[in-house]
Amino acid sequence: MIEVKADALEASFEAVENAGLPPVRPMLAGGRPLGSAAFEGFLRAGSGGVEMKALSGASDAAGGYAVPEEIDARIDATLKAVSPIRAIANVVKVGSSGYRKLVASGGIASGWAAETAARTETATPTFNEVAPPSGDLYANPAASQAMLDDAAFDVEEWLAQEIAREFAAAEGSAFVNGNGTNKPRGFLATATAATGDAARAFGTLQYVASGAAGAFAANPEDKLIDLVQSLRAPYRQGASWVMNSATLARIRKFKTIDGAFLWAPSLAAGQPATLLGYPVVEAEDMPDIAANSLSIAFGNFKAGYLIAERGETQVLRDPYSNKPFVHFYATKRVGGMVSNSEAIKLLKFAAS
């Protein structure tokens, strides 16, 4: 009797195989096909829900996974909108924290001589090393496990927005006012002097005094023109103004002698408004007008300010440290400093 039952069971399996039907398995609750949702599965369930091929690459020995390429693109786009210095500066991707750049200054001297006169040695350029200080920029947003279990919740979009908000606020402040200690050195934290390019030491920014402490002197448009002309012609191609909205509100009311506004609004979508023919960038981290404040910057930031960053953002999922919350620890190494002190000028609200 036992042998007969086994033969019948084997025959039933053969019938299923011969029919070419796939094995039937019950659908798990919340199951969805892998693919674009692979990273979301990792965020919801941990390492069991992700395939390595769906990621941009493995992390360092510290652990975690690199954010997928589509999330990195969203973060970069949001940063450009919130942190405007990134959009106008020179951004380079580096593979380590030890980035160095050489800047030649001084130029080559020349001279005149008679046909048979002796030729003396002329001056040669000098090299200056630029090494932007850097630090780990991080964000650590958290979400409850119950919220992550909600199938209608877009985890990737939420993660990108949270990281972008944290990174944009920190970057915007550091690129303007950072002290260079475990973070970028802002251009307003650089040494300043009133001397011109020919006599000023490398790495020192030139400022133009407004003529009054904490205010514009008479005929403020004259000082704005002086600031523009203090930047040499090669750098004025691609130059822009940088100030906060409070300073911009005062400047938008300035008029010339014949009653024309110095400010020119944008006439096309996507084009910035201009001041004296140059685009204006609003950076809320710039200081308000006060005594001895450096509230207005003008220059070619693509040539004058360097941002060095690692190419990828690292994300580590931590469901253990703060149960029942899941933390998404994101980190990115970013550095920055003034690379060419001749390319950026400042307006100082002082008598001299």
Q: For the segment 122-132, what is each residue's pLDDT rounded down to a tens digit? A: 878 777 778 88
Is residue 92 domain-resident? yes
Write down the pLDDT at residue 42: 62
Q: What's 171's domain CATH number?
A: 3.30.2400
Residues 173 and 288 in one domain: no
Residue 62: predicted pLDDT: 32
- Do 209 and 283 reside in the same domain of the chain? yes
CATH number at residue 246: 3.30.2320
pLDDT of residue 5: 54
Q: Are residues 222 and 279 in the same domain?
A: yes
State the pLDDT at residue 286.
Answer: 95
Query: How confident is the model at residue 152, as a pLDDT?
Result: 63
Task: Tell me, yes or no, whether 82 lies in a domain.
Answer: yes
- Residue 156 in any domain: the answer is yes
| Domain match, 302 and 320 both | no
Whether residue 174 sits in one domain with residue 226: no
User: Look-up: residue for tokens 């685009």?
Assistant: 279
Whole-angstrom Cα distance, residue 94 to residue 106? 28
Q: Please give the tally of structural domains in the chain.
A: 2
- For residue 111, the model assigns a pLDDT of 84
Using 50 as the pLDDT threshold, list the residues of the chain that sit under it. Answer: 25, 27-31, 34-35, 49-66, 151
Name the DSSP letter for residue 199.
T
pLDDT of residue 227: 96
Burial (CB < 10 A; 0-12, 13-18, 19+), residue 325, is middle
Assess if residue 17 is contained within a domain.
Answer: no
Same domain (yes/no): 73, 175:
yes
Burial 160-175 (b: 16+ CB within 10 A, else e): bebbbbbbbebbbbbb
- Residue 284 and residue 232 share a domain: yes
Q: How far is residue 351's CA from residue 238's CA, in Å, rounded to a whole number?
A: 30
Residues 320 and 296 in one domain: no
Cα 327 to Cα 144: distance, rounded to the nearest angstrom: 9
Residue 287 tokens read as: 């200081």
pLDDT digits (tens, 9 = 90+) for 229-283: 999 999 999 999 999 999 999 999 988 888 788 888 887 777 888 999 999 999 9
Query: Which strand (E) or helix (H) includes residue 143?
Result: strand 142-144
Is the same domain home to 325 and 297? no
> Is residue 324 classed as helix, strand or coil in its secondary structure?
coil
pLDDT at position 10 is 61
Domain ranges, residue 76? 38-109+119-181+315-338
Q: Are residues 173 and 255 in the same domain?
A: no
Residue-level pLDDT at 45: 62
Q: How many other CB atoms are found less than 10 A from the CB of residue 334? A: 26
Token couple for 258: 């014949």
Domain membership flag for residue 68: yes
> Are residues 82 and 150 both part of a single domain?
yes
Residue 251 lies in a domain: yes
What local confidence, expressed as pLDDT, does residue 3 receive? 55
Q: Are 60 and 151 contained in the same domain? A: yes
278: in domain: yes
Give the pLDDT confidence score for residue 181 in this predicted structure. Answer: 93
pTM above 0.85, yes or no: no
Residue 62 belongs to some domain of the structure: yes
